[in-house]
Structure 1
Amino acid sequence: MIYLGLTGSIGMGKSATAQLFRDEGVPVYDADAAVHQIYEPGGSAVEAIAVEFPHAIEDGRVNRAALREIVIDDADLLKKLESIVHPLVGETQQEFCKHAEESGADIAVLDIPLLFETGGNERVDYVVVVTAPADIQRERVMARDGMTEGILEAILAKQTPDAEKRARADFIINTVIDIDYAHEQVRSLLSAIRRKHGSK
């Protein structure tokens, strides 16, 4: 099994690129979706977060926007949150890898926004970085509901800069033109990896 770590800064088109891998029949683990899952009623993170961040709980689930407001400017609180969330997300990732290997897939993708920040790049065979020019990134992000310049800058401050991500990548997917252009790059990447490793 070859594991690809897929990452990219906010607004670069990473989620759309992850779907392109799915369209090619590659199993994809979605770290953001895993977080949503453990934040839902009955989710494994709700009880622990309720103890540490009671104002972030609403109707038995974690309100992500409220939680973000609590921790975004406090490094200590963010570390406390990460100490709760990261191990639980790690468990969901291990379960995904087990199922992917049992399925007989030759390649699997771990879609992890903070791949470099959490050291996840050390646990994959190749790192794939999704990128786009900064002006396009900003335009995409600012079009999102509830987004402000302040929120965007705070998010970017906590992410490894795009230039550094690209410098550390094994493969780069550029989403500057359109989804078809990105799809061509995904197909080429998969073909190259399979040629190298002699898989299907």
Structure 2
Amino acid sequence: MIIIGLTGGIGSGKSSVARYLEEEGFPIIDADRVGHELLDSPSIQDAIVALFGNEVLEEGTISREKLGMRVFADTSLRNQLNALLHPLIKEEIARWCAQQYEQGNTTVVVEAALLREEEGSDPWLSGLILVLSTEENRVARLVTKRNMSEEESRSRIKAQVDPDTKIPRADWIVYNDGDFEHLKEQTARMALALRALGNAAPPTD
């Protein structure tokens, strides 16, 4: 089975690339969405409240906005949250990949911010697509699409690993500093490459 990672910093436009790849027929799983769904689990909610306190609650449930403000302001808390959620997210991704294979889908895409953070990490990936964009364009997207302030946008960008450090570990790079048509053209070429990779892969028992 071919499992392709899709990553990029916040505001880079990786979700747009994911949407275009989905239109090309590739099954997509969004790790952020899986993480959000996990927040509905009572046991996860209890663990998060134990870490962060009741101030991350809103009407008895975890507020993603309040939680996000806490973790982006504190590296230690962010690492603790990642240690709690990431193993569970990976388990769900593994289940989803197995289901896709059973349904006959042999090439799938996993969209996640934290992929190949270090050399040798995530060996289960067959390849990695890295979406890059200038900081100014990323800030503009976050301000326009997520209603963040410029200060908050820059703070969240700086809280993540510099995407440029992943260039040596990426198999394909998408530059998202043009218009939507340019992005779609790059993604269409990417889809051709992924189909060729899938056709060349040996069958999996």
* Shared fold (TM-score, shorter chain, > 0.5): yes
1:115 equivalent in structure 2: 115
Alignment RMSD: 2.3
1:154 equivalent in structure 2: 155
User: In structure 2, do the counterparts of structure 1 residues 196 and 28 end up closer, same or farther at CA, with 3 Å as the change threshold?
Assistant: closer
| Runs of at least 5 residues in structure 2 that lack an aligned partner in the other structure | none
Q: Give the secondary-structure state (helix, strand or coil) at the position aligned to 1:177.
A: coil
1:142 equivalent in structure 2: 143
1:187 equivalent in structure 2: 188
TM-score, normalized by length of structure 1? 0.86
1:79 equivalent in structure 2: 79
Residue 91 of structure 2 is aligned to residue 88 of structure 1: no
Residue 27 of structure 2 is aligned to residue 27 of structure 1: yes
- Range moving further from structure 2, 126-135 or 161-170: 161-170
Kept in 2, the 8 Å contact 1:141–1:147? The answer is yes
Cα shift at 1:8: 0.8
Question: Alpha-carbon deviations, 1:32-52, whole Å to 9, x = none?
Answer: 111111123x46522221222
Kept in 2, the 8 Å contact 1:30–1:111? The answer is yes
Cα shift at 1:162: 2.9
Kindly provide the amino acid, as one letter, of the partner of residue 45 in structure 2. Answer: V
Kept in 1, the 8 Å contact 2:106–2:198? The answer is no
Residue 81 of structure 2 is aligned to residue 51 of structure 1: no
CA distance in 2, matches of 1:73, 1:33: 22
Question: Alpha-carbon deviations, 1:70-129, whole Å to 9, x = none?
Answer: 233323222222221112212221221111111111210000012133876432111101
Q: Give the secondary-structure state (helix, strand or coil) at the position aligned to 1:124.
A: coil
CA distance in 2, matches of 1:117, 1:159: 10
Q: Give the secondary-structure state (helix, strand or coil) at the position aligned to 1:72.
A: helix
Number of equivalent positions: 199
Cα shift at 1:190: 2.6
Question: Alpha-carbon deviations, 1:159-191, whole Å to 9, x = none?
Answer: 221322334311012222223322222222232
Cα shift at 1:60: 3.3
Kept in 1, the 8 Å contact 2:133–2:176? The answer is yes
Q: Give the secondary-structure state (helix, strand or coil) at the position aligned to 1:198.
A: helix
CA distance in 1, matches of 2:72, 2:198: 42
2:174 equivalent in structure 1: 173
2:7 equivalent in structure 1: 7
TM-score, normalized by length of structure 2? 0.85
Q: Give the secondary-structure state (helix, strand or coil) at the position aligned to 1:129.
A: strand
Cα shift at 1:196: 4.3
Kindly provide the amino acid, as one letter, of the partner of residue 33 in structure 2. Answer: A
User: In structure 2, do the counterparts of structure 1 residues 44 and 22 end up closer, same or farther at CA, with 3 Å as the change threshold?
Assistant: farther
Question: Alpha-carbon deviations, 1:48-74, whole Å to 9, x = none?
Answer: 212222321222321112112323332
CA distance in 2, matches of 1:91, 1:157: 28
Kept in 2, the 8 Å contact 1:121–1:127? The answer is no
